[in-house]
Amino acid sequence: MKDAISDRDPWGGLRALRFAVSLARASVIALSFALPSAHAQQPPTRHETIVVTGVFEPVPLEEADRPVTLVDAKSLELLVNSPVDFLRLEPSVDLRERGINGTQADVSIRGGTFGQTLVLLDGFRMNDAQTGHHNMDLPVPLQAISRVEILRGSGSTLYGSDAVGGVINFVTKPPDFTEIRVRTAVGNFGVNQQSGSIDFAAGKFAEQLDFSRDFSSGFIPDRDYRNLAFLSSTTFSTAWGPTRILLAHNDRPFGADQFYGNFNSWERTRTWFAGVHQALGSATEFSLAFRRHTDLFVLFRDHPEIYTNHHALESFQAALRRRERLAENARLFYGVEGFRDAIVSNNLGIHTRGRGAAYLAFDARAWKRLSFQAGAREEIYQSGRGQFSPTLSAGFWLNSRLKLRAGAARAFRVPSLTDLYYHDPANVGSPNLRPENAWTTEAGIDAQLGKRIHGEVTIFQRDERDVIDYVRTSPSSIWQATNIQQLRSRGLEASVGAPLGRLQELELRYTGLRGFREPIPGVESRYAFSFPVNSGVIDWRTTLPYGLIGRSRVGILERYGQNTYALWDFYFARAKGRIHPFIQFSNLTNTSYEEISGVVMPGRSIVAGVEIIAWSRKK
């Protein structure tokens, strides 16, 4: 006997059929926008793109043996409203917002919990040791992001703890020329936004300064927010090699009504970040980073004296990585890493912990058809305890258009400080929690059908042990952090992208997921079975004359044990010249929905604004 769906019908039969019907209906909506202008000019052709996430050395996307989704953020800058919008293009990513525009958002991949996804900024860890609820507190303005790379599946061999379901890497890029841009927008719910960027490039020196301010009075009382972000990126060359320095800050106070129960709460989180990448010759790189994150939580906004928590976390990370060329098509990668977290909290107490890791990996490519990668990592924590994370992947080109790939990897996650030490009248942590660990196996096929039609299919299975969840034995009892012994997930990912005439492109993506666990009589769990069973995205894009561009996204989601709902967003802008007006419609159908139970989300909204290139000098 199992929770969820039986082995006789692993993809959910009637429920999957109903979801397919919903997806088909949404496709008709997208096509209705697509067909009228199918005779116009041809969109840009696809170019080879280099990815850095999930690989030990940058490779073209087509050569990656792991399933990686790449989102070109620069091409969408006028057609999105916040960095979290990029994640809505990949249905394997479950974005569960409490506040809009990423004010507070949980993110997971392939049905994992919100602590099982690793978030990176230019390869630096952004995950918060206090709680995974803060992993998306990104100190980066929208316009600073060049692309987003999403590794679907285990990444612990390269990245260590937390990369169980996958990895999300927000990548910035040094500017190629000098330019000044400013942007402003307004919308309903009191939305008021301003942002700007100053890019400078001269020879081997480049500087990028970006800032943003996003304010809203709230769509209901006590759901106001203010999000301030600043980033500085400095790149230059030294005698050792290229140097890159990142400095960033984020400040986000927000009303948290219903976020953690039936309370008119308020919260403010702040992030300070500094990181440096330094090349040491052509084959070695050193990196060092510091992150400070504070969290002030007030249970009753109008009576903070009743219950207030304040947490201050400081984290350090350092890595030394090296690669060796063994032969023309063979590389050896190895390195060491160190991590240290320290927290001062009136609730969690005062704690310090550290981890150290070493890894070794081998990559080989032969006959321009076969690729192979094997690696292993040992990470030591907590008085000599360790986690061993091996990985193995391979790819084989059947011909110039079809590629087979497969892989297996082990991943782990150490408990957050909240898992270990948090306590309030309704929840309590456990200092005896064991780290989570999981084996993921996957296989897939990538296809390039014609010049502009591309697709992929991936099947995967994740077997987890010691999953950390909160459980209780009755509605009146306390939620207790506990290790669940065994959990199994099986899934299917599929996507296809194709042109519609000479003007437009349509991409369909789908992820289906099933979870299995032997039930524990009389025990209710909070997180283990809140994953999406079916999730689909229809993304339509067009380029019109006079520099006009448009995008429509329909996202359909069925969460385990809940009703299916769909969200339709539409964006339109002019990208030509120095003045770029834009308009953005969210939740056009005014759907009532909750991404986290009990936390209502806004209905139909509109944001309109303009971006101005105040000054530009290209090489």
Q: pLDDT, tens digit, for every residue of 232-256?
A: 999 999 999 999 999 999 999 999 9
Other Cβ atoms within 10 Å of 70 Cβ, number:
18
Query: 49, 78, 79, 54: which is closest to 66 by C-alpha?
Result: 54
What six digits make up the tokens of 425? 């009248």
Question: Which CATH number is 382's domain given?
Answer: 2.40.170.20
* 295 Cβ contact partners less than 8 Å away, ≥ 6 residues apart: 130, 134, 267, 268, 269, 309, 310, 311, 313
Starting from the edge strand earliest in sequence, which strands make up the sheet with 124-125, in order? 68-72, 147-152, 166-171, 117-121, 124-125
Question: At 59, which amino acid appears?
Answer: V
- For position 45, what pLDDT does the model report? 38
Backbone dihedral region of 561: left (phi > 0), alpha (psi from -120 to 50 degrees) or beta? Answer: left
Q: How many structural domains does the chain have?
A: 1
Phi, psi for 510 (deg, rounded to 5)? -140, 140
- For position 523, what pLDDT does the model report? 80
76 within domain boundaries? yes
More confident residue, 223 or 32: 223
Report the C-alpha gap between 140 and 144 in whole angstroms. Answer: 7
Cα→Cα distances 612→85, 116, 228, 317, 574, Å: 22, 40, 20, 38, 11
Structural domain including 59 reads 14-617
More confident residue, 482 or 367: 482
- pLDDT exceeds 90 at position 411: yes
514 within domain boundaries? yes
pLDDT digits (tens, 9 = 90+) for 550-582: 999 999 999 988 889 999 999 999 999 999 999
- For position 31, what pLDDT does the model report? 39
- For position 619, what pLDDT does the model report? 59
- For position 438, what pLDDT does the model report? 96
392 within domain boundaries? yes
pLDDT band of residue 22 (cuts 50, 70, 90) is low
pLDDT band of residue 363 (cuts 50, 70, 90) is very high
Most confident by average pLDDT, 46-50, 122-126, 366-370, 518-522 = 122-126
387 within domain boundaries? yes
- For position 15, what pLDDT does the model report? 53
* 349 Cβ contact partners less than 8 Å away, ≥ 6 residues apart: 343, 421
pLDDT digits (tens, 9 = 90+) for 53-101: 988 888 888 888 999 999 999 999 999 999 999 999 999 999 999 888 8
- pLDDT exceeds 50 at position 4: no
- For position 334, what pLDDT does the model report? 97
Name the percent of the chain lying above pLDDT 90.
76
- For position 368, what pLDDT does the model report? 79
The chain-wide mean pLDDT, for the chain, equals 89
- pLDDT exceeds 80 at position 148: yes
Q: What is the arithmetic mean of pLDDT over 585-592?
A: 95
- For position 32, what pLDDT does the model report? 40
Backbone dihedral region of 95: left (phi > 0), alpha (psi from -120 to 50 degrees) or beta? Answer: beta
302 within domain boundaries? yes
- pLDDT exceeds 80 at position 46: no
pLDDT band of residue 1 (cuts 50, 70, 90) is very low
Report the C-alpha gap between 462 and 154 in whole angstroms. Answer: 9
366 within domain boundaries? yes
Report the C-alpha gap between 550 and 572 in whole angstroms. Answer: 4
393 within domain boundaries? yes
pLDDT digits (tens, 9 = 90+) for 253-304: 999 999 988 899 999 999 999 999 999 999 999 999 999 999 999 999 999 9
pLDDT band of residue 519 (cuts 50, 70, 90) is low
Poorest-pLDDT segment among 16-25, 31-40, 100-109, 382-391: 31-40
106 within domain boundaries? yes
- pLDDT exceeds 50 at position 35: no
The half-sphere exposure of 53 on its side-chain side, counting CA atoms within 13 A, is 29
